[in-house]
């Protein structure tokens, strides 16, 4: 697949016909401007799982303002990445310029997904599955969450687990938690989740948050 995609590009480049693609950080480049934006749709699965957050979508804005190579640069999960890509493909841009001339530029945008979740309610801020490429992943059918926090609390937890072939999360492990007092509640809630399973067990990692903003940590969270 990779060789099939690259070969025509390499031939064109060797012939000197491929236009230079700049970065939006290159000196003298005036970045593309969004002229029209389409808001993304939510998936029912993401709504069910209270998933909120940001997907970063990368792409090339050509010198004529058209887009190509639209891809996920930072994932959010549960189908929202695909919704973000679909939305960005419908955006309209004024092209980047360099020395006053339109040029092709590699850039990215953040696409935000927000729900009317109460500040005191736990929700997901990222959902990741280690399914093989082009293989099916588990689908959330019945989520559960820890009890609400008080209004002045902020907390974050990252939990890894396997979804077995019955759709049950097993082998749960807390990778990070900002306050140990929540560990039992987070694990208890995660045990109550149910999934439409894949054909084989699949490893998942979910990030949960509650409060106005995620708690900060020196640890790298997925």
Q: How do the pLDDT tens digits run along the chain, 222 residues long?
A: 333 333 333 344 444 566 799 998 999 999 999 999 999 999 999 999 999 999 999 999 999 999 999 999 999 999 999 999 999 999 999 999 999 999 999 999 999 999 988 889 999 999 999 988 778 999 999 999 999 999 889 999 999 999 999 999 999 999 999 999 999 999 999 999 999 999 999 999 999 999 965 434 444 445
CA–CA dist 121, 145 (Å, integer):
8
- Asked if residue 62 is part of any domain, the answer here is yes
If one counts the domains in the chain, the total is: 2
DSSP of 123-156: EEEEEEE-PPTTS---EEEE---PPPPPTT--EE
CATH number at residue 154: 3.30.2420.10
Closest CA to 103 of 164, 29, 187, 209: 29
Question: Following CA atoms 75, 79, 83, 89 in sequence, which dihedral angle do they give, to the nearest 10 degrees?
Answer: 60
- Asked if residue 10 is part of any domain, the answer here is no
86 and 28 within one domain: yes
CA–CA dist 16, 12 (Å, integer):
6
Of the residues 113, 134, 166, the one at which a domain ends: 113
Instruction: Give the domain extent around 76.
Output: 21-113
93 and 129 within one domain: no
Instruction: Give the number of other Cβ atoms within 10 Å of residue 191's Cβ.
Output: 13
């Amino acid at each position: 697949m990779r060789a099939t995609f690259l070969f025509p590009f390499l031939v064109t480049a060797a012939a000197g016909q491929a236009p230079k693609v700049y970065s939006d950080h290159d000196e003298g480049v005036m970045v593309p401007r969004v002229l029209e934006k389409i808001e993304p749709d939510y998936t029912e699965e993401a709504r069910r799982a209270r998933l909120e957050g940001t997907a970063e979508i990368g792409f090339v804005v050509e010198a004529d303002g058209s887009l190509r190579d639209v891809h996920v640069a930072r994932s959010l999960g549960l189908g929202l990445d695909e919704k973000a890509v679909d939305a960005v493909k419908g955006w309209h841009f004024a092209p980047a310029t360099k020395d006053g001339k339109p040029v092709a530029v590699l850039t990215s945008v953040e696409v935000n997904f927000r729900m009317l979740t109460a500040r005191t309610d736990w929700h997901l801020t990222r959902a990741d599955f280690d399914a093989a490429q082009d293989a099916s992943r588990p689908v959330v059918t019945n989520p559960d969450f820890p009890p609400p926090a008080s209004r002045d609390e902020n907390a974050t937890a990252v939990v890894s687990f396997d979804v077995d072939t019955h759709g049950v999360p097993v082998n749960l492990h807390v990778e990070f938690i900002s306050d140990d007092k929540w560990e039992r509640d987070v694990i208890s809630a995660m045990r109550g989740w149910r999934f439409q399973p894949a054909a084989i067990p699949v490893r998942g990692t979910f990030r949960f948050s509650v409060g106005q903003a995620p708690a900060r940590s020196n640890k790298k969270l997925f």
